[in-house]
Amino acid sequence: MFLPTTMEEVKKLGWDSLDIILVSGDTYLDTSYNGTAIIGKWLVKHGFKVGVIAQPDINSDKDITRLGTPNLYWAVSAGCVDSMVANYTAVKKRRKSDDFTPGGINNKRPDRATIQYTNLIRRFFKNSPVPIVLGGIEASLRRVVHYDYWSNSLRRPIIFDAKADILSYGMGEKSMLELANALKNKTDWKSIRGIGYISKEPKEGYLTLPSFEECVEKKENFVKAFELFYHNCDPITAKGIYQKNADRYFIQNPPCENFTSQEMDDIYGLDFERDVHPYYKKDGHVKALDTIKHSVTTHRGCYGECNFCAIAVHQGRTVISRSEDSIVKEVTNIANSKGFKGNISDVGGPTANMYGLECTKKLNHGACSHKRCLYPETCPALKLDHSRQISLLKKLKSIDKIKKIFIASGIRYDMILDDNKSGDRYLEELIKDHISGQMKIAPEHTEDKILSLMGKQGKSILKEFKNRFYELNKKHDKKQFLTYYLIAAHPGCNEKDMLDLKRFASSELKISPEQVQIFTPTPSTYSTLMYYTEMNPLNNKKIFVEKDNGKKQKQKDIITQTNKTRRY
């Protein structure tokens, strides 16, 4: 069943009104890779009537008024990607295409979509008593004072600029359901974990972050605010926080408790159509569906904590995995679906080979405040053993009508090398059956100075993994290769570092890299903190940061262009 998008569909379901209306910057893809679909289906499962308005026209009332007023709340999301990242490149050029828009033309998602959609609701529902709730990755990563690359300034928590009532952060199934129940039963919702709101008073017992005004005044205050924010994202150890903005306060309750494996099974076991809703499908092909239609999520969370990545802040540092039975059931259902050709595009998560691997200390006592799981080296408390993943892949391969199970999600090659029990067996399994000609890995850089600023281990393990990969390919008479994803212009990186990267790639990796992206400072990451402050927050030492877009492009060109075609 699709969630309704028109009143005609609402009436066909036997509903006379909706409890919750979800507004999204993506078109309505009914898959488990779409947060709007997951939240909507989860709420329906628990008895609520939910509708969807995708990519509404912000210049008229034709879309936003289509479903009337919800009984409980509006839920607004910019979509699966921050709208500014979706709309602009790393050098601030407007993107022409959008994979989450029918027809592929980038003409439906407004800049700062969360704010725009909330304003749209306020404009045409001036007397509506129901609250507006912000959610999704844009709201989640902009929930406290943050650096905004596109305006080159610090911005207030997004709830202030959007003039919304409530903000749900992180993975929102629990908080959005609890909020729906509280509003339905007219009970207090201000203690719900995983939400934030505006208050005239600070919250007693919560931690104080430096205010917006203090952060603007001194970069050191912004560093302190970010550190307190970052280290209070673990459900077991986090405290509530508040941050003053003018004469009001943003109150953030502690995060939602970690999901259990059973809860993950319940969420991903929901009935998804794995298609674009017909109301939007008529407007053209949606490219994003090509890769996610027959893909399967095995887990959430990532303890890699790369400094340029916000997954630790949004999904969490604790990996929660689904059961094998749940995953097998989903793949079996896909295999028996209409039009299936035999290939599963991906089985994974933020990092594919973290499935079934987590530190028992973290599960019981929360993430460590003084060290990371994989940097500067793999923590011995993280008992690496890929055997559970090998078992899962073998079960999936044996399902009737399955030709190929691909692993397209990122893979931490350092984890494979550090697994003395089954790392080689896992890599052999991938090489034999789960890649097609190439294996994608993301070293991001090769120079140890830059890797340390990225929060990644040194280049020696990259060389070791490369050698092992090609040895195993030769053993199994395979002619496959590695594709390397790299970043240019990360804080601390200069042209010499990129030239050194190019020499290393040529002499040691025997390649001329093509997959190179320019670093984009996105909200709520350590790398963005470095970009804004031009300091390494670990030691407060000044670092070089390239801020000229032409010179950023030059760093990329050093890698991607040949000597004959490079012009400066």
Bind-site residues: 302, 306, 309
Residue 424: partners with Cβ closer than 8 Å, 6 or more residues away: 468, 472
CA 215 – CA 250 distance, rounded (Å): 15
Instruction: Find out whether 53 and 302 touch, Cβ atoms under 8 Å.
Output: no
3-state helix, strand, coil in the chain (%, to 5): 35, 15, 50
Q: How many CB atoms lie within 10 A of CB 150?
A: 16
Amino acid identity of residue 133, one-letter, is V
Q: Which residues pair with 24 in a beta bridge?
A: 54, 77
The runs of H, that is alpha helices, within 113-259 are 113-124, 136-141, 158-162, 173-185, 212-217, 219-230
The residue among 529, 499, 5 whose CA lies nearest residue 230 is 529
- Tokens coding 467: 């050698």
Place of tokens 């008895």: 47
Binding site for [4Fe-4S] cluster, by residue number, is: 302, 306, 309
Residue 492: partners with Cβ closer than 8 Å, 6 or more residues away: 449, 450, 453, 530, 536, 543, 544, 545
CA 119 – CA 72 distance, rounded (Å): 18
- Tokens coding 110: 């407004």
Listing from the earlier edge strand, what are the strands of the sheet with 73-77?
A: 50-54, 20-24, 73-77, 132-134, 166-168, 195-199, 248-252, 241-245, 207-209
Pairing state between β 132-134 and 166-168: parallel
Amino acid identity of residue 438, one-letter, is Q
Amino acid identity of residue 395, one-letter, is K
